[in-house]
Chain A
Amino acid sequence: MRTDFAFIGVMLITAFLLMGVAVFAASLLRPKKPSQAKLETYECGMETVGDAWVQFRVQYYIFALIFVLFDVGGVLLFPFAVAFNVVPIYAVLVVSLFLGTLMAALLYAWRKGALQWD
């Protein structure tokens, strides 16, 4: 297993270096004549007012949270799926109950209007 992941590590480093080399080579080849106008933030010709780093709506956060909850739920199903052929038949009931509870959570969010984007 660890030896399997050794290749992942090598691949990660190789890919990163390759991409870095591409950017570096481009920086040698390309012209470099910066000017005031070029370096300004692009906003369809208007002059930018203030930072983009402003406060955002809470709805984005709610969706991210619902996503995290279901992500965790989904991850927990994977070991069961791998063991499917060796688990006893009542395991199907346990997992159905697990999924049913997840659906109840989704239904709650639905009824409360949290899934509505406006």
Chain B
Amino acid sequence: MTISQILFIVIALVVLGGGVMVVTARNLFHAALFLIVSFFGVTGLYVLLDAGFFAAAQFLVYIGAISILVIFAVMLTRGVQQAQPANSQWPAALITSVIVFVIMAIMLGPIAVTIGDRQFGNLSWPNIVEGQTVPAVPDDSLVRLGQSFVDFNQYGAAFLLTAVLILVAMVGAIWVARDRTLKDVMEERAELAAEEAQEAMLAGPAQPALPVGAAQVAEPTAEPAVRH
């Protein structure tokens, strides 16, 4: 075994072990930390693939930013420490992961599957096929990446679409987390008051002696809406 093979096995164990712990940890904060361990392993995989820029980008974006987002999301939930190991959606999750696993196994593995006139799988990766070597990463790979980002025959459109995606994500995030506006609050209170008034009306015929009391009940709930 070469050194990079040994390193690959170690790093793969870190990634997979972290992943398993994410799923099994009962404490959600610990699960988030194990997710970071897994991300860190992926950084190592990028280094092994000679993709230094992507390793650093993975570290910056996933460990420095996304994991913080995950931890904040965890802190927003109730019962951080006593998470249920499974909820009612686990069969769906199981089926999805089995399907994804099978697809990936076919994509990467030596078995060929023919659907229609297209063949999937058995892709003859250069490092699998005997006698072929992986071509070295060129020294100017970063420059080429930069060129392809602004070339519309390559990733120019995708580059600009990423900005649009960021814009959409921003709009979506603010919409999801929007504070209830004053109008919403007033409408809600008006509804509540109307409901209570209706209840009072329904209760009215049974106790005809207390119509004044019913009006008094409805009044305090309506008042704050006016004051605000």
Contact = CB atoms under 8 A, between A and B. Distances in A.
Interface of A: 1-2, 4-5, 8, 51, 53, 55-56, 58, 60-62, 64-73, 75-76, 78-84, 86-88, 90-91, 94-95, 97-99, 101-102, 104-106, 108-109, 112, 114
B6 interface: no
Contacts of A106: 170
Interface string B64-84: 111011001101111011000
A95 B162 CA distance: 12
B211 interface: no
A90 B145 CA distance: 17
A91 B55 contact: no
A76 B174 contact: no
Contacts, number: 142
B92 interface: no
B72 A61 contact: yes
Interface of B: 4, 29, 47-48, 50, 52-53, 55, 57, 60-61, 64-66, 68-69, 72-73, 75-78, 80-81, 137, 142-147, 149-150, 156, 159-160, 162-164, 166-167, 169-171, 173-174, 177-178
Given A55-B77, A62-B177, A109-B174, A71 B166 contact: no
B58 to A, nearest CB: 10
Contact of A82 (B61, B68, B146, B170): B146
B173 A71 contact: no
A4 B146 CA distance: 22
27 contacts: A2-B4, A55-B75, A55-B77, A56-B76, A58-B177, A60-B75, A61-B76, A62-B173, A64-B68, A66-B170, A67-B65, A75-B57, A76-B162, A79-B145, A83-B143, A83-B149, A83-B150, A90-B150, A94-B156, A94-B160, A97-B163, A98-B160, A101-B163, A101-B164, A101-B166, A102-B166, A105-B170
